[in-house]
Structure 1
């Protein structure tokens, strides 16, 4: 059998033990040669004759999948499946899996770290000292504030726990969970507009869908308290980047941290380079520990499907 491996963090370590184990199981493993997520055209050129894919943040569009003459499984190395055309995959009998929870702790820790990086201007201070300066940064304290968690799945709940641990009061929004989930976590449930009105920090942890595109737009930015911070470690497109830039320029928003952009790399984003924006390269899941968990789980899912056993981590067009 032949398996394509596209995540950049795996492809740059071709001799990794996990990849050798995969070779032993399937025979041939083809690695992403580009050092970045693949376009639909590049995937189309590589999917012919492939039985399974360990998939990164590549464009698995219907057009790309037309070349998948033997493909049985796309095992996402991560949680989001917004870059996979689930309908097209299902129509071709391709099983799509993901690794829920594997990078939850890693993303949650980044979200909290970014909140402090913005609040204290850490990146600006660091750049100033590196350049030979000695800047004085007007930061702000987070203790005593309210931390709004948008999306209360595995990552959101870990973020809420850590926000409470640094002296903030977490509140959360998630329309798809029962009240008991919030009650068990000891977190007040709010609708998203009320969450925006009350939160000093808003952190996004929802998938990107037609319904969540620009979930935080100009109107909701206008609901935030003066001096609030917005963080996106989930998916590009959840934030209206132009509206965020306008709020920063007007001074109504203290700062923002963005790990996921509408276009990646985000060369055209109005937020990159702004002094009160901390930018990271979609690295929420990139810790050694999370990489190992995602690797192990995605390979296990891929092999299970190829053996005909199926996987509990499979998703469908109606249950993303």
Structure 2
């Protein structure tokens, strides 16, 4: 068992049950409140060093954890992400420096899948437009479109994608899936069709993106791919800003080619120069948006908090966290 059991938590909404779990397992756990105007994503190396200090465990969200950051924190044994993405962590550096990086696998897939369904219905049924029109008056019925028995294209079939398939089956949707690893048994069990991206673009009424952001997937939805989509198609992105070219999406929505979009992530999250594009998207009546909050329900955060805490305790006890949670183990 590690002598250093100090654990720093820089995420908001960390619940008392998960905090008590850490403390019951011998951790000196503390929730750090950042200064006004600060977020994890804005912290530089000096600020991170000041916040994390000699902690052995760090439960983190969106901070950029570079080689320089890890070298500045020699006591840090485990970086435990309360989430499932890890593109902000230098995995090679963590391995080289003997650190463990984990994610909260399985904690928020149901929560995000629920949000996708909500966005599909909200955009398709034009809830935002109807609400605004009723406020302005006089009341007028706006025709929307069903999710029931429509064709839904899913790009990526990880935990969230599979949770989405479960929900869409209740709508009797024709579900198309593009993934590098098609599974014939899964298709037989669920009725999904594994197809290529060209089929997704051509046939889908709704398209939901659930791929990791890599050089190969950046701007996979762009002017060219949007042009192949059905008129009136609806795009949902709750995965990562950058999978969709926000500028190209804005142009297509403004031109009336697409029916709308549900967006929980934006390129401006990592590129402030894109803020004007984000603002223009938010102003459109057929865009339903959230501030990267797809995993942020009380229940979803409670689950991911506990998984993140369990990973920290396992590492500090000299044990291995659950396989699905381990991104890299450099010990």
TM score, norm. by length of structure 1:
0.90
1:279 counterpart residue number: 289
Q: Against the structure 1 CA distance between its residues 281 and 96, is the aligned structure 2 distance closer, same or farther, given a 3 Å change threshold?
A: same
> Is the 8 Å Cα contact of residues 233 and 258 (structure 2) preserved in structure 1?
yes
Question: RCO greater where, 1 or 2, for CA within 8 Å and sep 6 or more?
Answer: 2
Residue 31 (structure 1) aligned with residue 32 (structure 2): yes
Q: Against the structure 1 CA distance between its residues 124 and 63, is the aligned structure 2 distance closer, same or farther, given a 3 Å change threshold?
A: farther
1:295 to 281, 301, 305: 305
CA drift at 1:298: 0.8
1:256 counterpart residue number: 261
**Structure 1 residues 110-119 or 286-295, which shifts more?**
286-295
Residue 315 (structure 1) aligned with residue 316 (structure 2): no
**Structure 1 residues 68-77 or 25-34, which shifts more?**
25-34
Task: List aligned pairs for 1:155-304, cutoff 5 A.
Answer: 155-264=160-269, 267-268=275-276, 269=278, 270-304=280-314
> Is the 8 Å Cα contact of residues 231 and 257 (structure 1) preserved in structure 2?
yes
> Is the 8 Å Cα contact of residues 104 and 158 (structure 1) preserved in structure 2?
yes
CA drift at 1:140: 2.0
Residue by residue, what CA displacement relative to the aligned partner does 1:172-199 show, whole Å, maximum 9, x if unpaired?
Answer: 0111344333333221000112111110
1:60 counterpart residue number: 65
d(CA) in 2 for partners of 1:301 and 1:193? Answer: 40
> Is the 8 Å Cα contact of residues 182 and 188 (structure 1) preserved in structure 2?
yes
**Structure 1 residues 281-290 or 260-269, which shifts more?**
260-269
Q: 3-state DSSP class of the match of 2:268?
A: coil
**Structure 1 residues 39-48 or 116-125, which shifts more?**
39-48
Q: 3-state DSSP class of the match of 2:269?
A: coil
2:17 counterpart residue number: 17
> Is the 8 Å Cα contact of residues 47 and 67 (structure 1) preserved in structure 2?
no
Q: 3-state DSSP class of the match of 1:236?
A: coil
CA drift at 1:155: 1.2
1:124 to 122, 126, 129: 129
Where structure 2 has 5 or more consecutive residues not aligned to the other structure, the ranges are none
CA drift at 1:158: 1.8
Q: Against the structure 1 CA distance between its residues 172 and 28, is the aligned structure 2 distance closer, same or farther, given a 3 Å change threshold?
A: closer
> Is the 8 Å Cα contact of residues 145 and 169 (structure 1) preserved in structure 2?
yes
**Structure 1 residues 297-306 or 141-150, which shifts more?**
141-150
d(CA) in 2 for partners of 1:32 and 1:207? Answer: 30
d(CA) in 1 for partners of 2:252 and 2:298? Answer: 36
d(CA) in 1 for partners of 2:262 and 2:81? Answer: 25
> Is the 8 Å Cα contact of residues 2 and 52 (structure 1) preserved in structure 2?
yes
4+ long deviations beyond 4 Å: 130-133
> Is the 8 Å Cα contact of residues 44 and 65 (structure 1) preserved in structure 2?
no
CA drift at 1:100: 1.5
d(CA) in 2 for partners of 1:45 and 1:233? Answer: 32
d(CA) in 2 for partners of 1:288 and 1:99? Answer: 15
Q: Against the structure 1 CA distance between its residues 255 and 23, is the aligned structure 2 distance closer, same or farther, given a 3 Å change threshold?
A: same
Task: List aligned pairs for 1:9-158, cutoff 5 A.
Answer: 9-10=13-14, 16-24=16-24, 25-34=26-35, 36-41=39-44, 42-130=47-135, 134-158=139-163
> Is the 8 Å Cα contact of residues 8 and 36 (structure 1) preserved in structure 2?
no
Q: How many residues align?
A: 313
